[in-house]
């Protein structure tokens, strides 16, 4: 998977999709900073997810952003998304690969080198570590140390996504420690100080 250093943001959807969301997404993706957009909706019906997903897929396509579905390879297949992100309790990566053929599959590895090695062996397209900071989007169960990024880079070229409470004050440190992509959600969608476009423009 090619890495463009300017496009280091892995943007995750808010938990709820208001009407203003689509216009904000268009503005954000036009900045050219986003490589991936992940649809992560826990409390919507399958039909609603499909409707929302179709709209987002079109916006992503126009802006050359990879459209990823969280947790659900079947939904990724239905929407013909670019790929799927799997947590440790989701479908086994080998089954997901059979289902999705050559689509992108990313794996959550929390703060574990052992999980990372397993994901690399199973030929994941990227691995995700975190939380590196306290997150308001999700309850922080696992805390990842910065040194894990450099550790992993010593034995693999696989792209690494850093997750957890990332904002304009702490993002540079993760990039300096060799994270390829930064998964960001709350800082963009729940920022009390800046609107989504302004918030993303602060990540330079």
Report phi then psi at 117, rounded to 5.
-65, -40
User: Residues 151, 159: contact at Cβ < 8 Å?
Assistant: no
127 has pLDDT over 90: yes
Looking at residue 137, its pLDDT comes to 66
Q: Does domain 9-201 have CATH number 3.40.50.300?
A: no
Cα 76 to Cα 58, 64, 79, 114, 128, distances in angstroms = 14, 17, 5, 27, 19
Looking at residue 51, its pLDDT comes to 97
* Tens-place pLDDT, residues 53-67: 999 999 999 999 999
The pLDDT-based confidence of 3 (bands split at 50, 70, 90) is confident
* Tens-place pLDDT, residues 36-51: 999 999 899 999 999 9
Phi/psi zone of residue 117: left (φ > 0), alpha (ψ -120 to 50 degrees), beta?
alpha
* Tens-place pLDDT, residues 133-181: 987 666 778 899 999 999 999 989 999 999 999 999 999 999 999 999 9
Looking at residue 135, its pLDDT comes to 74
State the chain's mean pLDDT as an integer. Answer: 95
- For residues 170 and 2, give the distance between their C-alpha atoms in angstroms, rounded to a whole number: 25
Helices of type H across the chain: 21-29, 46-62, 73-79, 93-100, 113-121, 147-153, 171-176, 186-189, 196-201
- For residues 51 and 97, give the distance between their C-alpha atoms in angstroms, rounded to a whole number: 25
Q: Domain segments of the chain: what residues?
A: 9-201
Looking at residue 63, its pLDDT comes to 98
């Amino acid at each position: 998977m090619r890495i463009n250093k300017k496009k280091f943001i892995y943007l995750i959807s808010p938990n709820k999709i208001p009407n203003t969301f689509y216009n904000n997404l268009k503005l954000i993706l036009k900045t050219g900073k986003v490589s991936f957009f992940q649809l992560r909706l826990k409390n919507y019906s399958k039909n609603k997810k499909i409707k929302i997903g179709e709209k987002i897929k079109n916006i992503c396509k126009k802006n050359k952003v990879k459209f990823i579905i969280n947790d659900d390879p079947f939904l990724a297949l239905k929407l013909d998304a670019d790929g799927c992100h799997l947590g440790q309790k989701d479908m086994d990566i080998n089954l997901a690969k059979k289902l999705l053929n050559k689509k992108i599959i990313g794996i959550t590895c929390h703060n574990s080198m052992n999980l990372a090695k397993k994901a690399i062996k199973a030929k994941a397209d990227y691995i995700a570590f975190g939380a590196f900071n306290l997150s308001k989007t999700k309850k922080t169960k696992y805390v990842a140390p910065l040194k894990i990024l450099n550790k992993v880079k010593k034995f693999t070229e696989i792209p690494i996504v850093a997750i957890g409470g990332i904002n304009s004050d702490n993002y540079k440190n993760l990039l300096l420690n060799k994270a390829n992509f930064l998964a960001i959600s709350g800082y963009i969608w729940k920022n009390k100080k800046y609107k989504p476009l302004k918030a993303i423009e602060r990540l330079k």
